[in-house]
């Protein structure tokens, strides 16, 4: 077991005192970085980056090398590796996002789906995790991740991205038994996938429920939260003598924070539509909070970015339990210098909120 040189991220998740608010960015390894675009060109395409542990490690390290102040690394992979391992045939068409060769729309389709073996079918991800851990050598903790069952199901039913989730929602409403059977298989798959990542060296895990917020109040509980609860219950929560924090992120889920906190997750991710001060008042005694600057703020000037960071830090207020992040992934058009200004501002401006620690 390697000693962690910078454990601010894990400490803040567990609400232990920190000297400054930790910061990382969703999608921090990605197309806004010229060095990422160069690695992808070398690998050939996105999935070749993910499938090759050396490449996945190289791109995971790129944001850390460019911004030495980042407090966490996130595994370079994708949430759609699970449906790919179930045999759906994931591919990416430039400018069009992810697509599947096969879709899942009937009870028979669901029955035919295997629950992937995390070691056999997704071993390339576990290789990436252990390779990255070695390369990090205790510099910062490594975050593993997965999609939520509902979010994965939307891609599998639709065959790719969707604006309105017409097919996935029609299946849930017309044939809930089939949708639940699909969500059950995905839940089993996610639990074994995340536990394998933890055993391979992931020191915290995040569940991306990118599309839970597209559901109605009741449907969110039935089709998304219910399954994330099962995942939280099924995860390894201690490894290498440390707690393994679990972060739940439902985009547009601000109205459900109390129920999300009741799952037993360690932390909740907030998008930018939620006021972080109000969120802390609602659930801050139960969970840590991660977020929540509007990612498009990175198109503004460094001065304006710094003001926004100050506002969010002030909103959260004194003490630990806050992990600074964007409210969703950084976008390809962002100037890398502005991302740097964001990260530096968080550390510079947050020390004053941790003086009693």
Is 117 annotated in the active site? Answer: no
Residue among 79, 115, 268, 293 that touches ligand CP3 (CB under 6 A): 79
Residue among 43, 56, 61, 74 that touches ligand CP3 (CB under 6 A): 74
Q: Which of 71, 78, 84, 121 is catalytic?
A: 78
DSSP string, 240-252: TTEE--EEEEETT
Do 41 and 313 contact (CB within 8 A), yes or no?
no
Q: Which of 19, 27, 282, 299 is catalytic?
A: 27
Residue among 6, 14, 15, 31 that touches ligand CP3 (CB under 6 A): 31
Name the residue among 99, 106, 108, 102 with its Cα closest to residue 87: 102
Task: Give the long-range contacts of residues 264-267, CB within 8 A, separation 24 or more.
Answer: 264/229, 264/232, 264/233, 265/228, 265/232, 266/13, 266/14, 266/204, 267/13, 267/323
Least distance from C-beta 308 to ligand CP3, angstroms?
20
Is 27 annotated in the active site? Answer: yes
Q: Which of 32, 36, 67, 155 is catalytic?
A: 155
Q: Which residues contact 24 (CB under 8 A, 6 or more apart)?
A: 9, 70, 71, 72, 73, 74, 143, 323, 325
Q: Compute how many residues bind ligand CP3; rule: CB under 6 A.
A: 20
- Rounded CA-CA distance 50/37 in Å is 14
Residue among 20, 23, 72, 80 that touches ligand CP3 (CB under 6 A): 80
| Residues of this chain, 193-252, that bind ligand CP3 according to CB under 6 A | 208, 210
Q: Which of 31, 66, 221, 282 is catalytic?
A: 31
Is 155 annotated in the active site? Answer: yes
Which x/- pattern over 115-144 shows residues binding ligand CP3 (rule: CB under 6 A)?
------------------------------
Kindly tell me which of 186 and 349 has the beta carbon lying closer to ligand CP3.
Answer: 186
The distance between the two most distant Cα atoms of the chain, rounded to a whole number of Å, is 59
What are the tokens at 249? 């992120």
Q: In degrees rounded to 5, what are phi and psi of residue 170?
A: -60, -40
Name the residue among 210, 224, 214, 113 with its Cα closest to residue 166: 214
Residue among 20, 29, 56, 312 that touches ligand CP3 (CB under 6 A): 29
Q: Which of 19, 40, 117, 175 is catalytic?
A: 40
Which residue number places its CB atom closest to ligand CP3? 210
Is 78 annotated in the active site? Answer: yes
The residues of the shown chain that bind ligand CP3, judged by CB under 6 A, are 26-31, 40, 46, 74, 76, 78-80, 97-98, 145, 161, 208, 210, 329
Residues serving a catalytic function are: 27, 31, 40, 78, 155
């Amino acid at each position: 077991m390697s000693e962690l040189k910078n454990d601010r991220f894990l400490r803040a998740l567990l609400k232990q005192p920190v000297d400054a608010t930790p910061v990382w960015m969703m999608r921090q390894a990605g197309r806004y970085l010229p060095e990422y675009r160069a690695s992808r060109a070398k690998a050939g395409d996105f999935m070749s980056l993910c499938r090759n542990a050396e490449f996945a490690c190289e791109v995971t390290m790129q944001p850390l090398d460019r911004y030495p102040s980042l407090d966490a690394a996130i595994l370079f992979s994708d949430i759609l590796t699970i449906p790919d391992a179930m045999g759906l045939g994931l591919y990416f068409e430039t400018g069009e996002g992810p697509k599947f060769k096969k879709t899942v729309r009937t009870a028979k389709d669901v029955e035919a789906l295997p629950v992937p073996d995390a070691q056999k079918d997704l071993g390339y991800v576990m290789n990436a995790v252990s390779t990255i851990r070695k390369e990090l050598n205790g510099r910062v903790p490594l975050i593993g991740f997965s999609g939520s069952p509902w979010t994965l199901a939307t891609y599998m039913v639709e065959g790719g991205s969707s604006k309105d989730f017409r097919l996935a929602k029609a299946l849930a409403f017309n044939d809930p038994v089939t949708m639940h059977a699909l969500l059950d298989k995905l839940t089993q798959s996610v639990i074994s996938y995340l536990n394998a990542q933890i055993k391979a060296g992931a020191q915290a895990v995040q569940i991306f429920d990118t599309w839970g917020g597209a559901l109605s109040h009741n449907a969110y509980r039935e089709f998304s939260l219910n399954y994330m609860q099962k995942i939280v219950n099924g995860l390894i929560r201690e490894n290498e003598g440390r707690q393994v924090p679990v972060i739940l992120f439902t985009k547009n889920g601000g109205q459900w924070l109390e129920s999300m906190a009741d799952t037993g997750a360690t932390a909740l991710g907030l998008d930018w539509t939620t006021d972080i001060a109000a969120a802390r008042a609602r659930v801050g005694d139960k969970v840590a909070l991660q977020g929540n600057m509007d990612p498009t703020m990175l198109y503004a000037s460094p001065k304006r970015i710094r003001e926004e960071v100050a506002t969010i830090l002030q909103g959260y207020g004194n003490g630990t339990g806050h992990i600074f992040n964007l409210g969703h992934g950084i976008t390809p058009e962002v100037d890398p210098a502005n991302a740097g200004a964001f990260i530096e501002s968080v550390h510079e401006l947050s020390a004053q909120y941790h003086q009693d620690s």
